[in-house]
Amino acid sequence: MIRKFHIVAIPIRIVVNKFGDHDPDGMMYALKENESLIQKKVQHHPFTPVDLVEPLVIRANAGDDIEITFENKLPFNTSMHIQDAEYEVFTSDGAFVGINPDTTVKPFDKIVYKWKVNFEGLFFFSDLGNPLSSELGSNVHGLFGALFVEPRGSWWTDPVTGKPIKSGVFADVHNPILPSFREFGWFFHDEMEVDDLTGQKPISPHTLQPEATHAINYRAEPMRNRSRLIQEGVVCPDCEGEEVHHDSWAFGDPDTPILRAYVGDPIKIRLVHAGVQETHAFHYHVHQWLFEPTDQDSELVDAQAISPQTHYTVTPLYGGGSLQGAIGDAIIHCHLYPHFGEGMWGIQRNFDTLQDGSQCYPNGVPIKALQPLPGLPVPSKPTPQRPGFPNFIPGIFGSKAPRPPLGIEGGREATKIEKNHFAPNARPGAVFVNPCIPNVTPEREFHVVLIQRPIIYNKQGWQDPEGRLYVLAEDEEDVLAGRKEPEPLVIRANAGECIRFKYTNKLPETIGGNAFQLVNRTYEAGMHVHFVKFDPLVADGANVGWNYDSGVLPGETIEYQWFADVELKATFWHDHLFPNEHQQHGVFASINIQARGSKFLDSHSGKEINAGTKATITNPLIPDFRELSLFVQDFSLLFDKDGCPLNPPPFPGSPEDPGVMGINYRNEPIQFRLKEPDFDPAYIFSSWVHGDPVTPMLETYNGDPVRIRLLQGAHEESHSFNLHRQRWYRERPDLDSEIDQQQHISISESFTLEFNMEGEGDFDMLYHYGSLDDIWLGNWGIFRTFEKMVPHLIPLKDREAPPTRKDPLPRPTGQKPPMAQQPGKPCPPNAYVRKYDVVALTTRINYNDDGDHDPHGIIFALKDDVHDILEGNVNPEPLILRANVGECVEVTLYNQLDEDAFHHGKEEHGYPDVPVSALFPPSKRISIHAQHVVYDVRYSDGATVGFNQDQTIGQNESITYRWYVDRDFGSANLWDMADIRNHRHHGAFGMLIAEPRGSTYLDPMSREMVYTGSQVVISNPLLYEFREFALLMHDGVRLVDVNGKLILDPEPLLIVSEEELEDFEDQGSRGFNYRAERLSHRITSINDVFKAFSSEGEHGDPSTPLFKAYPGDPLTIRFVFPADRARAHAFVIHGHKFLRSQNDVNSSIVSVKGQNTVGTNDDFLLFYGAGGLLRQPGDYMYRSGNIRWDIELGVWGIIRVLDHETELLAPLKPHSVIMMDQVGGDSE
């Protein structure tokens, strides 16, 4: 079926809330038939949101052809570039790339795009005519939308009227075979250029400083406006602000999306990040869903990180209200607290009574009708005695939400009408639904207290004088008295249990009054939990919509109830009343839900414990394991030992990345681990020199099963957990998911990293959080494993006891450790040994043809290539090594670093800078650490960690590392571990690729064997040949221009930047493979932006790798992210798709990969080969999805699919020819 749409890109004033916050320069896609109506309505309602002003969502069915007549009414070229659909790149790419014709549209012109969609899901489209990062660009102003593709035979209706609709973010979708469902489009978009009612930049009434706005579907409900109503005494005069930010009793409903359903309705949220910069965290209260919606083995999630231009379909299990059938409001928000405060939240509302349009909300606003879904029971009509949610709740509009019945000790009586809505088994903490069955569901009880006490983070006296933490009541005195070290509370329960809480708020009434925070009341707090099943009306630990306020005042105690229906991972909980003020002080915790029948033991004494981040879990049926819970934190508002604030913000209360970081209230900043006389960064991780770090020491015996519970407690940044040597399945329940050694995490996400400790002898492995920012501030630690018995660690009962220890354990000596004397023996004796001689050297790297370069590059190169590099005959590329599965790799590394070529010596490093900067001279030593391979950590880890021996080398020394490639892991990062601060961002990284057994690596032009290179042919006697394109995306680079002038990136194009330097995580240039095709060299005015990617004219092809293939050639992209900052990036490829999890045919088909950060390694096996399904020749862009600032800074390139054979590219050989070649070869 052909579906035709006429779409216009128009300028439009976008009002994002009733307070008049607006983008005067908004832009949107609209259906032509709605264009004049939209403009008229906006003209008549200039200060309030207009319903039709929403991101354009059109719909089709799987298998449909789509024909778009696209008309541009903006003053520059615009386009519609669609992801995931099939299209001809010459006519419908919506971009002007390489040698392709221009498919952007000039002002007041038209084009016809043709797309074909073959599967269900969300197909994001956005403008690529003007992808500028600043307010001059189009995406930041709203020029994006989506095509939602439904199962074949579907149709869609308006949820209010039941009539068919042609567009709209919300619809009820019906199908003759499948159940109907509620479909909600949810477009996150950030950094919108929003003014307040008066046309000024919005000012926070709390800080009196300008504030950003983050939005959903062109709407934002920031706290600042609502707080002003409190300050003016209009509503709730005794309130502070944050505790009622989401309270509809105080303010009425927000203007952000309200996703309405009846309890049990099937729901699909089509979630997309249409914004430009941040990686957000989508969190949906009460509900959980499968990470891969079409894969029953997939990981269960209730929060997901989402990078720009990536998307998911969120299908909550059990529909609206989840398993327990909860009625009421479930907030959906970006969990990054500053964004939450700046407007990025909405509500999913579950009604229990029929809404036919005749009811009103408690503030008198009519409740729009909601058509029941066909095939489901029609909800009962509301009656005066049983009015249904929200009208049975005895609140007063204009005041804070009422407190729940039953739960609060000494609280009020329930009203008669409330009682009419009680569940039959109502009890405190589970009043309106209670999934626990009396006398059947086993119960477990805790009394939790929230307290304040100073927390010291390290031996240098970095401290949080207002540390706030949950503790068990039985530990409160010991923690306050200092007899028990403060750590995030981790409690445990077993699957199938009903967990009953008493919770007492013992916090002081205020916080702050220092360089980080203004004085703020924080008089109310609760326990908001993820994953487990509860009654959100009374036990959400929050104050949301028309629900009750389930926090309590200081001194009050409330009962909550959680039901753990199944074995879960670490289940995050925290306060939801004042999290923006105090979660970064430590208000986060976890309940880890174990398999039924488990017991939780202290790993030291073997006694049963009620709480603790570390435990030994025993179970009579499944193997015992070590459980280690790690909470990473940022925005930690610490002071040094002298009381000076560490990395204070520009003004108190500023969300501009204040403070430092930590793990479980600890950090070990590397600036304190330089030792006289050399101050050599190569030994910062060495326990011989410095003793063990204060960060959590994780300990096991060799062979022990381990589950690391990975959480982020606070507050805004992306972190990247990396662990040396050990590997786990990315989705724990799914054996088809990828094996990994790294995990991106954003706040509120939870991951379980499960593995058995592999290795021999006693050894130490580094764990760290990837980015320079993290490691610099001390987010690293040691995982220690023992071969022989130690007195402080009980053996696992179901494993053979470790042998008795005769030699004493090592102790710090203050001296550098001796060099590792041998590479270890990780390989089977008959494995083929592949040897590489690699040299580390300092050299200039040219990042493009316009003179931008790193004069102080530090690179790895094959020994044979060093001469040409040093002579300037070759502009270096990152080292890419390959080996086949089953092979033993021996890398001999030579150190030829020239210390005179370092960019700084004894002075501070400066830009790209780090928080709490300090003198940190560059190391003259170097090493290579490899991900994914099997090796003996004592000798070939490439890092000098804990009590391991030295595995870095000094100038003119060499070392051999031995790695075994035991499986087809694809891409892996290689990087230096001698100096994270000074080497990595100058290029001290590379890539190792595991190829199928028996493969040879060929030059794509000559088909000669090659030893390195980003573009090769992989030939194999059993498999088809494929082209392999290797990309290393990296940031934090320090470049100078052709005149030797330092480039201070990010440097927005065509405008004068308001800020001198961006946040630390954004400082530095970026690129692919030491190349950056910066748009600043390709365009001079906004009228040229659409031409930026074109190879026509003087600029020609970009300097980034130009990959070549013939139509249909099998293509694999090897992708790693080795360096350097905390900012996460998306990777997008035009016109091609791949499985999100390459070995899992049930995983989603996508054309973008988000959350790329230090340690990311992935492989994209492109469907149908070069040119996609249609095998179209042409230029296909690969690029970052971060419009701010990556694309401008040159993070893009081209895959060129050639239409006819040229001598520049040898064709791939069909399998039959390879076989014949073999026969011929053998006979010679």
Partner 1 sequence: MDINSLSKQLGIEGGDINAIRQAVVSREFKDNKGQRALILIAPYPFLIIGTIFEVVSDYVVIDAQVTNISELDDERFSIHIDDIEVFYIQKPGRPEIPDIRKEHHD
- Which parts of this chain interact with partner 1 (CB under 8 A)? 437, 440-444, 494-497, 596-599, 619-621
Order of strands across the sheet with 989-995?
879-884, 989-995, 971-975, 929-930
Distance CA 591, CA 446 (A): 11
Nearer to partner 1, 597 or 910 (CB): 597
Distance CA 570, CA 728 (A): 16
Nearer to partner 1, 563 or 902 (CB): 563
Nearer to partner 1, 497 or 854 (CB): 497
H helix runs in 819-917, sequence order: 866-870
For 79-107, the three-class secondary structure string (H helix, E strand, C coil) is: CCEECCCECCHHHHCCCCCECCCCCCECC
Shortest reach from residue 1106's CB to partner 1, in Å: 50
Shortest reach from residue 1176's CB to partner 1, in Å: 44
Shortest reach from residue 493's CB to partner 1, in Å: 11
Nearer to partner 1, 619 or 960 (CB): 619
Query: Which structure tokens are listed for 920?
Result: 């940190």
Burial class of residue 584, CB neighbours in 10 A (0-12, 13-18, 19+): buried
Question: Which residues make beta-bridge pairs with 961?
Answer: 891
Distance CA 883, CA 994 (A): 5
Shortest reach from residue 596's CB to partner 1, in Å: 5
Nearer to partner 1, 494 or 771 (CB): 494
3-state secondary structure of 831: coil
CB atoms within 10 A of CB 422: 17
Closest residue by Cα to residue 1203 from 85, 84, 88: 88
Question: Which residues make beta-bridge pairs with 150?
Answer: 61
Number of residues that this document lists for the chain: 1228
Shortest reach from residue 72's CB to partner 1, in Å: 55
Question: Which residues make beta-bridge pairs with 350?
Answer: 261, 328
CA dihedral of residues 910, 911, 914, 919 (deg, nearest 10): -20
Question: By the 8 A CB rule, do 415 and 261 touch?
Answer: no
Nearer to partner 1, 621 or 1223 (CB): 621
Shortest reach from residue 620's CB to partner 1, in Å: 3
Nearer to partner 1, 436 or 1047 (CB): 436
Asked, as a colleague might, if the bond just before 650 is cis with ω within 30 of 0, I would say: no
Cα four-point dihedral sign 123, 129, 131, 137: negative
Nearer to partner 1, 438 or 910 (CB): 438
Question: Which residues make beta-bridge pairs with 148?
Answer: 59, 122
Question: Which residues make beta-bridge pairs with 284?
Answer: 332
Shortest reach from residue 152's CB to partner 1, in Å: 29
Nearer to partner 1, 578 or 600 (CB): 600
Nearer to partner 1, 300 or 515 (CB): 300
H helix runs in 122-265, sequence order: 223-231, 248-251
CA dihedral of residues 25, 31, 37, 41 (deg, nearest 10): -40
Question: By the 8 A CB rule, do 1161 and 742 touch?
Answer: yes
Asked, as a colleague might, if the bond just before 1129 is cis with ω within 30 of 0, I would say: no
Shortest reach from residue 558's CB to partner 1, in Å: 25
Question: By the 8 A CB rule, do 1048 and 1061 touch?
Answer: yes
Nearer to partner 1, 499 or 525 (CB): 499
Nearer to partner 1, 396 or 437 (CB): 437
Shortest reach from residue 348's CB to partner 1, in Å: 27
Query: Which structure tokens are listed for 529?
Result: 């939990």
The phi, psi pair for 1189, rounded to 5°, reads -115, 10
Question: By the 8 A CB rule, do 76 and 190 touch?
Answer: no
Question: By the 8 A CB rule, do 104 and 1090 touch?
Answer: yes
Nearer to partner 1, 136 or 323 (CB): 323
DSSP notation for 25-47? T-EEEEEHHHHHHHHHHHHH-TT
Closest residue by Cα to residue 551 from 562, 561, 539: 539
Nearer to partner 1, 441 or 960 (CB): 441
3-state secondary structure of 419: helix
Shortest reach from residue 1210's CB to partner 1, in Å: 46
The phi, psi pair for 754, rounded to 5°, reads -115, 130
Distance (Å) of CA 137 to CA 145, 840, 874: 16, 41, 37
CA dihedral of residues 435, 440, 441, 443 (deg, nearest 10): 130
Nearer to partner 1, 439 or 1216 (CB): 439
Nearer to partner 1, 618 or 843 (CB): 618
Shortest reach from residue 422's CB to partner 1, in Å: 21
